[in-house]
Structure 1
Amino acid sequence: MANTIYIEYDFTVSPLQPASDILIAELGEAGFESFVENETGVLAYVQKDEWSEKCMDFIAILKNPEFTFEYKVREIEQENWNATWERNFSPIQVGDQCVVRAPFHEKPEVAYDIVIEPKMSFGTGHHETTHMMLQFVLEHDFKEKTVLDMGSGTGVLAILAAMKGAKKVDAIDIDNWCYLNAKENVERNGVGQVSVFEGDAQLLGGTAYDIILANINRNILLEDIPKYVQNLAPNGILFVSGFYKDDISIISEKCKACGLKFEKNLQRNDWVAVKYVF
C-alpha cells in the first residue's frame, strides 16, 4: 500500500483543559484521525486528500475568547509516524495492573503489559476515553467471554480483553490503517484469540457477544446501539465511550429503548465511559 500523505497540525493551547479535549472532539468530527496530547497542546492528523486549508474555519473552539490557540501545519508521511510517536509518547499506566507502552520502553512489572505501535491509529490510552475503557476492562471478568471491540483503533481494548481471559474477541474498525495496525499489535502481544476486521457495524452478523466495547463518537453510537444490542447475548454488557458527560442522557435514552439499563459511569475531565446491562 502506498504511503498516505497526512497533514499535521501542531496546536499550542492555553489553558490546556478543557480546551484540548473540546478541540480533539471537534477535529474528530471534521475528519481528523489521530491525536497526540503533549505538555503544550495537541498534535492532530488528517489525510491530505480529506483536508482543506479552510477546515479550521469550522472548528468552533478556536473562536472561544476564553482560550488561546496557535498552530503550525506541515505534511507528514505514514512512514514518518513512528518518529513522531517516539518523540511524544510516554507509557500509560492504568491503575496498578496495566501499562500501555511502545517496544522501546522498559518492560514494567505489571499483570497486563500491552505493547503497541500506533501508526496513525487512535487508542493509545492517552485520551480519557481509551483510559476509562481500559479501566472498565480491568474491573470486569472477561474469562471465557466472547467480546466485540467496535472502533478498535490500535486494538488496545481487544488485546487487554484477551489478556484477561476472553476466549474470542472480534475487533472492527472502518479505517484501513487502523485495521492493519491492530493486526500488527495483536500479533505483537501474542493474543491469537483476537480477530481483526475492516468495516463498520454492517459487518455484524448473528454472533452473540457477552461483552461489547464501543469507543467511538456520540452520533455513531446513537445510530449503531440498536445493532449492538441485537448482537448482545442474554445478560450481556455494553461499555461505551467517546462522548461528554452532558451526552449521557441521550445515550441512555437510546439504550433504554433497546432494553438496556444504565449501571455505572466513569469520568475523566468532561469525558465519560458508561456501562449498560440487560
Structure 2
Amino acid sequence: MGHTATPERQDNAHAPPPADAVDPVALARLYGEPLFALPQDLYIPPDALEVFLEAFEGPLDLLLYLIRKQNFNILDIPMVSVTRQYLAYVDEIRSRNLELAAEYLLMAAMLIEIKSRMLLPTVHHAGEAEAEDPRAELVRRLLEYEQIKLAAQQLGHLPQYGRDFVRAQIAIEQSLAPRFPDLDVAELQAAWRDIFKRARLVQHHRITREELSVREYMGQVLKALQGRRFVPFEELFPTGRGTPVLVVTFVALLELAKESLIEITQAEAFAPIYLRLAYTPA
C-alpha cells in the first residue's frame, strides 16, 4: 500500500532548511539565511563585477607572462601563437579602457610587423652577412625586462623600514658639561656683605698700617683653589685678619674673574656660591 503525505509533512518538505544546516543547493547566504533563488527585483550593472586574474605592468610584462606561462623558448618565440593571444587580450582591455589599451596597441603593431617580416622570404646576396632575426630586438628587451623584474622582486622581499620593522627611538638628554645658571651681581654683593659683617664681629681694634699687594693675594687664591674642584666663597676669606685683608682678597677675586682665571658659579638661585679654577694647572 502507498502512503499519502499529510499536509503538515508537505509543508515541511518545501520549507527551507535551518540556518545552521549546510545545503549545497542554496545559491548563497544572506545575513546567515540560505538563498535558494535570485530576487526578481535584483539589478546588477554589467560593469559592477570585474575579475582580473592577472595584473600586468605593461606590454613587456604581458608578453613575458604569455611566453613563460606556456614554456616557450624566449630565444625562439612562436610569433603566431603569441601574437594571437596578445591581440585577444588587447581587444578585451580596449573595450573597457581605451587609454590603457593605447600603450598595448603600439606593442601589437610591433608584433604584427615582426610576424610579417618572418613570413617574407629572406634573400641572401654574395658577400653579405646573414640577415638578423626580426625577433632579436624584442628578445633583448624581454630579457632585460625580466632581469629588472626579478631584481625588483628580490629587493621587495628585503625587510623595509616602515613595512616590516620600525626604528626604536628613545629620547636621551645628554650634556657634555654641566651648565650652571648665570650669577647675579646682586647676589655676589649680598655674599660680600655677609662676609664683611662676620669680619666686624671678630675684628680687633688695633690701628696699624699694612701694605697689602693685590697680586700677592691673587696668587694665594689660585694656590688655595689648586687641587680642589669647588671651593665655597666664604672659605677664601680668612677670619681675624681685619677688614683690609678681606677687601684686598675680594679685589683679588674680582681681578682673577676679570682675567678668566677663575669661575664663580652657583647651582641655583639663593644657593651657596662656589669658586674653581678656569684652567687645568700643568
Task: Give the structure-1-normalised TM-score.
Answer: 0.18
| Structure that is richer in helix per residue | 2
Q: Which has the larger radius of gyration?
A: 2
| Structure that is richer in strand per residue | 1
Task: Give the structure-2-normalised TM-score.
Answer: 0.17
